Amino acid sequence: MGKDDQEAYMHGENKRIEIKAYAKINLCLDVQGLLENGYHQVAMVMQQILLCDDVLLRFTPDEGAEGLAISMGTNRPYLPTDRRNLAWQAAELMAQTYVPDIKGRLRIDIKKRIPVAAGLAGGSSNCAAVIHGLNRIWDLGLSVKDLCEAGARLGSDVPFCVMGQAAADPGLRVAFAHDPLACHCAVATGRGTELEPVPGLDSHLVLSKPPISVSTAEAYRGVDEVEIPRRPDIPEIVRGLRKKDRDLIEKNMVNVLENFTLKRYPIVVYTKDKMQSECNCDALLMSGSGPSVFGLCTDRESAQEACRIMKGINRESFWTRTTV
Ligand code: ATP
């Protein structure tokens, strides 16, 4: 072994991995009261969509370092690039839990496309991507279940994002092809972390986010104060997914958080009304706690045309499709 080879061996190899951090929509969402731990009890169907952020991880081992030095950057200047970022928290959690003696530098770069604080789980998905990426970079060999358990400590939507990336990310899906939790769509119960994979919906869609942010905590608090005229029938929507019965699915697309968010933020009502009256969508719903609204379209052309119209109303409008 030459001197240079020895150096490389002592310091290990630099490693890099890029993970696609996909967004999600809720095909339905019900809030069923408070759990003992203070979280709301939910029942919802979560569906992964192709709209994604790119999360690039680069790790440089350094035996001379004191521990793990994390740094990060994103293309959204208003997002924190320190411990407040969920991606950073994911890296710290993975290091502390699985490799507490790790020494080196970790760089996280996120190219964001998913609107922030939009009900699309953008932050949770970035968090899941770091969990997956470090499982690979540090050769931890963890299953989707293990990775979900780690993710649940950082946010209720993280486990679903972990499962979705295991099924859809080009660099992960082969390794997880036989993992029973790798999936594109799931029923979530409890605080949203008890997940059962179900067949996904195959659809084009348009997404439009009004230029406001809705805090998830605010919407969940608010929904306790409002009347809820209609709740989704989860077994029915699952039956629709299994039978690929689009009518049955669309009939049960209900999100109880709309009862708070639409009342509190008229711009979400405006967005929904415009999508309803001017776009060729089969069914519309607010995703998560909002303010994003999505509309299902029968083909790509309708989704593109709907996106063109919605861009005239909300700059952050996209055409995309579900992953299957
Ligand atoms: P969810 O559907 O899981 O509630 P969301 O779409 O409502 O997610 P996020 O985009 O995850 O919301 O952002 C919520 C908050 O998290 C923002 O105020 C943002 O400052 C913070 N945050 C921390 N890390 C990130 C990240 N990597 N990407 C986006 N937001 C982040």
- Give the pLDDT confidence of 210-269 residue by residue, as tens digits: 999 998 889 999 998 899 999 999 999 999 999 999 999 999 999 999 999 999 999 999
User: pLDDT band at residue 4, thresholds of 50, 70 and 90?
Assistant: very low
* 96-112 per-residue burial string, b: 16 or more CB within 10 A, e: under 16: eeeeeebbbebebbbeb
In which residue ranges of the chain is CATH 3.30.70.890 found?
Answer: 204-321
Stretch 61-69: mean pLDDT, rounded? Answer: 93
Which pLDDT score, from 0 to 100, does residue 250 have? 97
Give the mean pLDDT of 93-111: 97
Q: What's the pLDDT score for residue 172?
A: 97
Binding site membership of 288 for ligand 1 (Cβ less than 6 Å): yes
Query: What pLDDT does residue 5 have?
Result: 42
Q: Is the pLDDT of residue 110 over 90?
A: yes
The span from the CA of 216 to the CA of 257, in Å, is 10
Which residue has a Cα nearest atom 27 of ligand 1?
123
Ligand 1 centre to CA of 224 (Å) is 22
- Provide the token pair at 199: 């067949």
- Could you tell me which of 321, 55, 22, 19 has the C-alpha nearest to residue 183? 22
* DSSP per-residue letters across 232-260: --HHHHHHHHHHT-HHHHHHT--BTTHHH
In terms of phi and psi (left: phi > 0; alpha: psi -120 to 50; beta: otherwise), the region of 300 is alpha
Return the amino acid letter for 44.
M
Question: How far away, in angstroms, is 11 Cα from ligand 1 center?
Answer: 35
State if residue 126 touches ligand 1 by the CB under 6 angstroms criterion.
yes
Determine the average pLDDT of the residues in 282-294: 97
Class of domain 3-197: alpha beta
| Residue 212 beta carbon below 6 angstroms from any ligand 1 atom | no
pLDDT of residue 33: 85
Is 146 an annotated catalytic residue?
no
Best mutation site among 31, 83, 86, 89 for ligand 1, i.e. most ligand atoms within 8 A of its Cβ? 86
pLDDT at 2: 45
Burial of 187 (0-12, 13-18, 19+ CB in 10 A): buried
* Distance separating alpha carbons of residues 91 and 190, to the nearest angstrom: 26
Reading the block at residue 114, the tokens are 């998913």
CA 137 – CA 128 distance, rounded (Å): 14
- Ligand 1: which residue has its CA nearest to atom 25? 123
Task: Specify whether the backbone of 237 is left (phi greater than 0), alpha (psi in -120 to 50) or beta.
Answer: alpha
Per-residue pLDDT tens over the stretch 115-150: 999 999 999 999 999 999 999 999 999 999 999 999
pLDDT at 305 over 80: yes
Please name the fold of domain 204-321: Alpha-Beta Plaits (3.30.70)
24 has catalytic annotation? yes
User: What are the residue ranges of helices labelled H in the chain?
Assistant: 3-11, 86-98, 122-137, 144-152, 158-168, 216-223, 234-243, 246-251, 258-264, 266-278, 300-311
Q: How far is the CA of 60 from the centre of ligand 1 (A)?
A: 28
CA 74, CA 62: separation in Å to the nearest integer? 25
* Intervals of CATH 3.30.230.10 along the chain: 3-197
| Mean pLDDT of the residues in the chain | 94
State yes or no: pLDDT of 317 exceeds 90.
yes
With beta carbons less than 8 A apart as the criterion, state whether 306 and 275 touch.
yes
Q: Is 99 in the pocket of ligand 1 (CB under 6 A)?
A: no
- Percent of the chain whose predicted confidence (pLDDT) is above 90: 90
Query: How far apart are the C-alpha atoms of 321 and 258, rounded to whole Å?
Result: 22
- Residue 36: the pLDDT is 83
Decide: 216 in ligand 1 pocket, CB within 6 A. yes
Q: What's the pLDDT at 12?
A: 56
- Report CA torsion sign: 120, 222, 253, 187: positive
